[in-house]
Amino acid sequence: MRIFVCEFVTGGGFAGAPIPAGLRAEGEMMLRALLADLAAVPRVRLRVCRDARLAAFSVPAETVAVEAGAFWDIVRAEIAAAEAFWPIAPESDGILLRLSEMARGKILLGSSPEAVRLCTSKTATARHLAAHGVPTAPALAPGIAAPHGAIVKPDDGAGAEGVRFFADPAAALATARGTQGLIAQPFIAGAPESLSLLCNAGEATLLSCNRQIIARLGDEFHYRGFVVGGAEEKRALYTPLAAAIARGIPDLFGYVGVDLIAASSGPVVLEINPRLTTSYAALGEALGVNPAAMVLALAAGDDLPKLQPARAVTLALAP
């Protein structure tokens, strides 16, 4: 099978503009892990796009250099020449959705455009999940209690990018209403955690329960790393949550990340990432199996596997 892999940040999506350092580091981690996993699968040929400004790295794939202004044309041509397409991209500005829609007629090794469209909006996702009985963070509005303060963030943001804390919920609400694309939510006290899922046709296998390492500097939040398998003691609690998410969004496919807060009252889902997350970079080591091979097996019609991490693995991002 000929597979084209596109990691937007390092693959030329920012060609001609500065590459955000944090996003570049996360993109490199995910890309290297995915290519290594795919290369270990027999009869797979890989093509990958790479920002021409970045140093070449030794990867088991044919690399296509991307100059400024050429990204979308190159991606379109590479998808046309491939049998399968695996996009890794932020939901912001509709980037992941556009890439997913370009794969129509090919094997898309990710969630459908319909699922991506829903998950691109945090508010739409929250409303949808709440209607399916999944606890989510509500949108802030007058009268909604926010005893711990509030946060403002992009509705289509990725990770901790652009997330700010406000001690005064009224100020947060005013800020969000004054800028298009921002949302305000009550700040939920608890441990930041995530789930790595394998999804198909409304069902999910919970691959790992992860702990996130997030630093708060003033009113800003910064993603510093993660411990894959670092929250496995909560597997019994999170397994039915994963099942409810998959039932509520049956078009999720392959690897899916879930960000949540482990609050005193129980888990509260913040967002669904219908794509690889940075936790993927340590998932194979934690599980002791090849997660990309499992996605390819699902695409070939196999059933969801049942497994969980054999060990916890910590990866840190440079500050």
- CB–CB of 4/79 below 8 Å? yes
* Same domain, yes or no: 303 and 165: no
115 is a domain residue: no
* Same domain, yes or no: 217 and 287: yes
Average pLDDT over residues 165-192: 93
* Same domain, yes or no: 97 and 205: no
* Same domain, yes or no: 193 and 251: yes
pLDDT digit string, tens, across residues 57-107: 777 889 999 999 999 999 999 999 999 999 999 999 999 999 999 999 999
pTM: 0.94
Residue 41 belongs to what domain range?
A: 2-109
Domain count of the fold of the chain = 3
* Same domain, yes or no: 288 and 306: yes
* Same domain, yes or no: 81 and 47: yes
pLDDT digit string, tens, across residues 204-255: 999 999 999 998 888 888 888 899 999 999 999 999 999 999 999 999 999 9
Tell me which residue has tokens 């590459």: 19
* Same domain, yes or no: 201 and 272: yes
* Same domain, yes or no: 71 and 128: no
236 is a domain residue: yes
Beta strands in 156-236 (DSSP E): 164-166, 182-186, 191-200, 203-217, 220-228
35 is a domain residue: yes
